[in-house]
Amino acid sequence: MSKLAGLLERLDIEPLDVDLYRGFSPRDGRPRIFGGLVAAQSLVAACRTIEGRVAHSLHGYFLRAGDTSVPVLYHVDRIRDGRSFATRRIVAKQHGKAIFNMSVSFQAPEEGLEHQIAMPDAPPPDGVPTNVERLRAYRERSQHPAIDFLLKLDRPIQRREVDHVDLLDPAPHEGSQRMWFRAEGELGDDPVLHQAVLTYASDYGLLESSFNHHGHSFLTEKLIIASLDHAVWFHQDVRADQWMLYVTQSPRTSGGRGLNFGHIYSEEGVLLASVAQEGLMRIRKPK
CB 170 within 8 A of CB 215: yes
Do 267 and 242 contact (CB within 8 A), yes or no?
yes
Residues 240/252, Cβ–Cβ less than 8 Å:
no
Could you give the CA distance from residue 274 to residue 249 in angstroms, rounded to a whole number? Answer: 12
Mapped onto helix, strand or coil, the DSSP state of residue 148 is helix
The Cα 226–Cα 39 span in angstroms is 15
E strands, the chain, in order: 14-17, 20-23, 54-62, 72-81, 85-94, 97-107, 157-161, 177-183, 223-227, 229-234, 244-254, 257-266, 271-283
As a whole number of Å, the end-to-end CA separation of the chain is: 44
CA-nearest of 100, 114, 213, 235 to 165 is 213
Q: Are 48 and 90 in contact (CB under 8 A)?
A: no
Nearest CA among 21, 37, 14 for reference residue 75: 21
- SS3 call for 151: helix
Report which DSSP code applies to 209. H
156 within 8 A of 6, measured Cβ to Cβ = yes
Whole-angstrom distance, CA of residue 266 vs CA of residue 156: 19
Catalytic residues: 203, 227, 277
